[in-house]
Amino acid sequence: MKMWRCLVALVLSLLVAFPVPAQKKRNYEPLFGKKYASYGKTSSSLKGAVFYLVSGHGGPDPGCIGKYRGKELHEDEYAYDIILRLGRELLRRGAKVHFIIQDAKDGIRDQAVLNNSKRETCMGKTIPLNQVARLQQRCDAINRLYRKDRSSYKRAVFVHVDSRGRGAQTDVFFYHASGSPYGKRLAREIQRTFRAKYDRHQPNRGFDGTVSSRDLFVLRKTAPVAVFLEVGNIQNARDQKRLVIADNRQALANWIAQAIEQDYKKSKK
């Protein structure tokens, strides 16, 4: 009996000295915030696919700023909320998702006006103020992960909010890198999905979002196939509804995820 007690004491002392690392909860992502951290799988339609999700700006740079009912709307906060919602939808479909820009406190939020902060990091690293350094940092993070991931379908998705004159209403529009046929295919798939959704939900409105190539730094410097979305004009009152209404932000995420599903299916043919 005495020997048994000694063995128990030894085991307990070893556990204290060398604690077992905490296991990551299954289907749980703390970046989503308490309300949305747990998520159920809806399918395995994106099993094997890997995504690098990047919300524009962040940290010391809020991006463009709009005015809404006397309050400020900051681009980085809305882009981040949409990216989180998109990532959650992709995870629910069985994908592997990397969130390049992260905020340890702000998860998915349902408020109309999202409070601004400077907490965002690039996967834990401070985001520099210098624009080139800031963009290079996120490209480097993507490329490091890209080299480690073993998948034949790896895609980067960048989400931004545009800024134009108050009277300029815009639909979501899409960029891909010049000479990237798969980036173009993905952008067109998202465009087709958005057009079909608008035809269904707002049949008399139409959808004018365009697809084009553009020589953007992040599209040139990242290894995976990429698509870049501008989700609206932060200055325009009608476009602001796309941002401030949480259900609309969720709809954007849902539609992008559905389009990605279709593109993934095409990649297997």
For residue 92, being part of any structural domain is answered with: yes
- CA 38 – CA 228 distance, rounded (Å): 28
For residue 5, being part of any structural domain is answered with: no
Q: How far apart are the first and last CA of the chain?
A: 66
The number of distinct structural domains making up the chain is 1
The DSSP element (H or E) to which 117 belongs, if any, is none
CATH number, position 216: 3.40.630.40
State yes or no: pLDDT of 269 exceeds 90. Answer: no
State yes or no: pLDDT of 1 exceeds 70. Answer: no
Q: What's the pLDDT band for 21 if we cut at 50, 70, 90?
A: very low
State yes or no: pLDDT of 179 exceeds 80. Answer: yes
For residue 14, being part of any structural domain is answered with: no
pLDDT tens, 107-133? 999 999 999 999 999 999 999 999 999
For residue 154, being part of any structural domain is answered with: yes
Q: Distances from the Cα of 3 to the Cαs of 11, 13, 26, 152, in angstroms?
A: 13, 15, 39, 56
For residue 225, being part of any structural domain is answered with: yes
Q: How many CA atoms lie within 13 A of 11 on its CB side?
A: 6
State yes or no: pLDDT of 14 exceeds 50. Answer: no
pLDDT tens, 69-103? 999 999 999 999 999 999 999 999 999 999 999 99
pLDDT tens, 128-160? 999 999 999 999 999 999 999 999 999 999 999
Q: Which residue type sits at 117? A: S
Q: What's the pLDDT band for 169 if we cut at 50, 70, 90?
A: very high
Q: Report the pLDDT value the prediction gives residue 25, as an integer from 0 to 100.
A: 79
State yes or no: pLDDT of 16 exceeds 50. Answer: no
For residue 235, being part of any structural domain is answered with: yes
Phi then psi for residue 256, to 5 deg, are: -65, -45
- CA 100 – CA 102 distance, rounded (Å): 6
Helices (H), the chain: 2-17, 75-92, 131-148, 181-201, 217-221, 237-244, 246-267
How many beta carbons lie within 10 A of that of residue 192, not counting itself?
Answer: 14
pLDDT tens, 202-256? 888 889 999 999 999 999 999 999 999 999 999 999 999 999 999 999 999 999 9
For residue 238, being part of any structural domain is answered with: yes
State yes or no: pLDDT of 18 exceeds 50. Answer: no
Q: What's the pLDDT band for 268 if we cut at 50, 70, 90?
A: confident
Look up the domain containing 209 and give its range.
24-267
Q: Count Cβ atoms within 10 A of the Cβ of residue 85 and give its class: 0-12 exposed, 13-18 middle, 19 or more buried.
A: buried
pTM greater than 0.75 (yes/no): yes
